[in-house]
Amino acid sequence: MSEHVLISCNQCQRELRVRVNYLGQKVVCNHCGHLFVAEAREDFNSVSIASVGVAEQNPAESPVRTEVQEQEIQQLKEELCELKTENDRLASRFVAANYQRVSLHLRAENLESQLRQAIEHIRLVQDDLAACEVVRSEANRLRVEAFALRDAAMHAIRLEDELQRLTKQAEEQRVEYEESAALNARLQEEAETLAKEREQSYRTDTTRLRGELTGLRASLDAQRLEYEGKLARANLELDQVMIERQKASSELEVIKGERDRALSERDLAVIERDRLAGELKQLGDGLTAAHEEIHGLGETLAGVALDGVRLEEEREFVSQLRNEMHTLVKERERFLDEQLEELSEKRERLELERSAVNSRWDRDRQDGLAELQKVAGQLASIRRERDDLFQTLQQTRREFEAFKNRRLDENEAQGNRERELRSIIKRLQAARQPFDK
């Protein structure tokens, strides 16, 4: 016959009925689910309850039983044994259910701690997102600076185009200056050649006329008719000189036309050609004076000598004009060289500034791209963490829902088992009452 004892729960202090062989082992309270070691109380002997059984009666006092009663008693004993077995099985299942409930309670606490950790992780992720917003604002600022640097680079490109335009303009001015200088040199060379030719012609004519005049004076009285022929020849030569003068005038007109074309190109060339025109005019005046002196060769040789002196002075004046022209050309060349050097220095300075702006823009662009890539990586990592956290929360929510449903089902099943146990106990008590009587 198995015995049961009454013990008290260490937590809720409610009485529990357990088997004797469970003493010293861990049991679970049916009321609060607390797990503790079952220990016998001091009044163990007084509270020991005999298990349900059939009391042995004195055979001498027992009434005579019929065979039908014996069969009923035997059947009741068998039912009692079956009920005991069922009771033991249900009690073991009840203990296992309590163990499972405790484990589920621990699992629920673990899930709640995981939920708190997930909430904390969400808060950290939100802080990281706020930091990412700061990084995004910094990236926007860097993007604005990159746009400003791009505008600076465009300004540098425009400066470079302006520098190229100025360089091209300086090159065109240099070419125009070289053309003007070549034209001035050619005009000067032609003027010098013309002056030399006229001077040589004047000298030749003067020498020839001087010899003729000497011959005329030597044979004036004896050869008056011959003198008149020579005078006619002198008139012919004068006509040739007039023709040469007309040719010189046409050449002068050509030179003036070239001078007018040069005037449209450079102001300095205009001034120089004006001086050259004055020189040619003076030469023309000298030619006129020389022709007048040739007309007066028959009157006086002193006029011829004065003409030679005047021609020498005019040659010196032409040389002086030529020297002044060379001086002006050199000054103009020096001025243009200085401008060209200034433009070259300005171009080099602009090249250095453009290189510095390009290098700074490239460096800032690379830094901005690296920062953007870093921010993009951080955002991708945060998105992955957010997705993982969302999946974890979904999994936790599903597990919690499953646990809650399972616990409700288990509680319902446990309530059903308790009701079955109560009904079995009531049946056992109802079956025991006739034997107790």
Residue ranges per structural domain of the chain: 1-49, 162-343
139 in Cβ contact with 377 (< 8 Å)? no
Distance CA 29, CA 16 (A): 7
Residue 58: pLDDT over 70:
no
The three-state secondary structure class of 348 is helix
Mean of all residue pLDDT scores within the chain: 74
Is residue 117 very low, low, confident or very high in pLDDT (cuts 50, 70, 90)?
Answer: confident
Which amino acid would we find at residue 145? E
Flag the least confident range among 280-284, 309-313, 359-363.
Answer: 280-284
Tokens representing 410?
Answer: 């288990």
Residue 30: pLDDT over 80:
yes
Q: Name the range with the highest mean pLDDT among 10-19, 163-172, 233-242, 330-339.
A: 10-19
Residue 413: pLDDT over 80:
yes
DSSP code at position 39 = -
Provide the pLDDT for residue 79.
Answer: 82
Provide the pLDDT for residue 308.
Answer: 65
Residue 141: pLDDT over 70:
yes
Residue 414: pLDDT over 70:
yes
Q: Alpha-carbon torsion 146, 150, 152, 156, what sign?
A: positive
Flag the least confident range among 165-169, 283-287, 327-331.
Answer: 283-287
In this structure, what is the dihedral angle of CA atoms 279, 283, 285, 289, given to the nearest 10 degrees?
150
Residue 2: pLDDT over 70:
no
- Only one residue has tokens 């008056």, namely 224
CA distances from 149 to 82, 160, 360 (A): 95, 16, 8
Provide the pLDDT for residue 29.
Answer: 86
- Only one residue has tokens 């079955």, namely 420
In this predicted model, which residue has the larger pLDDT, 387 or 258? Answer: 387
95 in Cβ contact with 38 (< 8 Å)? no
Paired strand residues for 36: 27
Flag the least confident range among 30-34, 130-134, 145-149.
Answer: 145-149
- Cβ burial, residue 259 (10 Å; 0-12/13-18/19+): buried
Flag the least confident range among 167-181, 278-292, 361-375.
Answer: 278-292
Is residue 59 very low, low, confident or very high in pLDDT (cuts 50, 70, 90)?
Answer: very low
Is residue 46 very low, low, confident or very high in pLDDT (cuts 50, 70, 90)?
Answer: very low
Neighbours of 273 (CB within 10 A): 25
Tokens representing 67?
Answer: 């065979």
The three-state secondary structure class of 270 is helix
Flag the least confident range among 1-10, 248-257, 359-368, 403-412.
Answer: 248-257
In this predicted model, which residue has the larger pLDDT, 294 or 206? Answer: 206
267 φ/ψ sector (left φ>0, alpha ψ -120 to 50, else beta): alpha
Residue 28: pLDDT over 70:
yes
According to the CATH classification, is domain 162-343 in 1.10.3470?
no
Q: Which of 101, 111, 33 is nearest to 412 (CA)?
A: 101
Distance CA 108, CA 120 (A): 18
The string of DSSP codes covering 223-253 is -HHHHHHHHHHHHHHHHHHHHHHHHHHHHHH
Distance CA 354, CA 178 (A): 32
Length of the chain: 437
Flag the least confident range among 85-89, 140-144, 398-402, 433-437.
Answer: 433-437
Is residue 275 very low, low, confident or very high in pLDDT (cuts 50, 70, 90)?
Answer: confident
Residue 433: pLDDT over 80:
no
Is residue 48 very low, low, confident or very high in pLDDT (cuts 50, 70, 90)?
Answer: very low
Distance CA 397, CA 386 (A): 16
What percentage of residues in the chain have a pLDDT greater than 70?
Answer: 72
Is residue 294 very low, low, confident or very high in pLDDT (cuts 50, 70, 90)?
Answer: low
Provide the pLDDT for residue 54.
Answer: 35
Provide the pLDDT for residue 263.
Answer: 59
Distance CA 75, CA 258 (A): 155
| pTM, full prediction | 0.26
Neighbours of 294 (CB within 10 A): 20
Provide the pLDDT for residue 74.
Answer: 83
Q: Residue 110: phi, psi to the nearest 5?
A: -60, -45
Flag the least confident range among 220-229, 308-317, 366-375.
Answer: 220-229
Distance CA 257, CA 18 (A): 142
DSSP code at position 17 = E
3 in Cβ contact with 51 (< 8 Å)? yes
Write b or e for each residue in 220-254: b if 16 or more Cβ atoms lie within 10 A of its Cβ, otherwise e. Answer: eeeeeeebeebeeebeeeeeebeeebeebeeebee
